[in-house]
Every structure is written in C-alpha cells, then in structure tokens.
C-alpha cells in the first residue's frame, strides 16, 4: 500500500533503527517506546491486521513470534510482553500487521 508507513519502511523510503531483516520480516525499534526496550516485528507482506491472516500465513506468524523472543533475548530482555492490536478499538494505529515486544521494566495488568 502506497500510504502505509510500514510498507515505506520495508521499501527503505523511511529510515528505521533496524534490529533484523530478511526476505519476509523486518524488526526495528519503536519511535515512541512504551518501555525501555520496545521494538516491532513486521511482516514485509502487507496484511492489515491479525484478522487478515489467511490459511498459509501460519508459518509467517510463527516466525514473527520466534524472532521476537530471540531478539528480546539478544537485547537482554528476559521477561517481555507481546502485543498484537487488531482494529482501532483495540488500539491499532498502523494498519499493517505488526507485533510489539516490550520489556526492560515491570509491566502490569492483564495477568
């Protein structure tokens, strides 16, 4: 999508502080961190949200989760929160599937 900020990051049109990149996934530090360690894991394939995942996307979603855990460990985050927002009422602001990894401090709520 031409106006999607994450698609622009994938294409290199907007800079990002990258942690990882391969043919399917890019990970970068959040520009408005909500924790000392806060990064995003984003598929390069444009999917609007979690609800847009289709049969056949399971491998991609699994890779995102595994990569998020690996990157957290590599950056000294043992305990972390994983967040996927789906839709505006859930807090989604960028309508390109992405996963937040937050850690580096005590996180409360949603036990």
Q: Are 96 and 46 in contact (CB under 8 A)?
A: yes
- Please say if 75 is a catalytic residue: no
The CA distance from 69 to 48, in Å, is 23
The CA distance from 63 to 24, in Å, is 9
26, 32, 37, 39 alpha-carbon torsion, rounded to 10°: -10
DSSP E strands in the chain: the ranges are 18-21, 25-29, 37-43, 80-83, 99-103
Which among 96, 98, 100, 108 is annotated as catalytic?
Answer: 98
Question: Active-site residue numbers?
Answer: 98
């Amino acid at each position: 999508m031409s106006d999607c900020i994450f698609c622009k990051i994938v294409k290199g049109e907007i800079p990002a502080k990258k942690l990882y990149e391969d043919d399917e996934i890019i990970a970068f530090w959040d520009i408005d961190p909500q924790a000392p360690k806060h990064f995003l894991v984003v598929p390069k394939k444009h999917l609007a949200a979690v609800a847009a995942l289709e049969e056949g996307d399971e491998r991609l979603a699994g890779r995102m989760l595994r990569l998020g855990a690996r990157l957290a460990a590599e950056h000294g985050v043992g305990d972390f929160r994983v967040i996927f927002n789906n839709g505006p009422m859930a807090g989604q602001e960028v309508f390109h599937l992405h996963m937040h990894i937050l850690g580096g401090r005590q996180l409360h709520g949603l036990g």
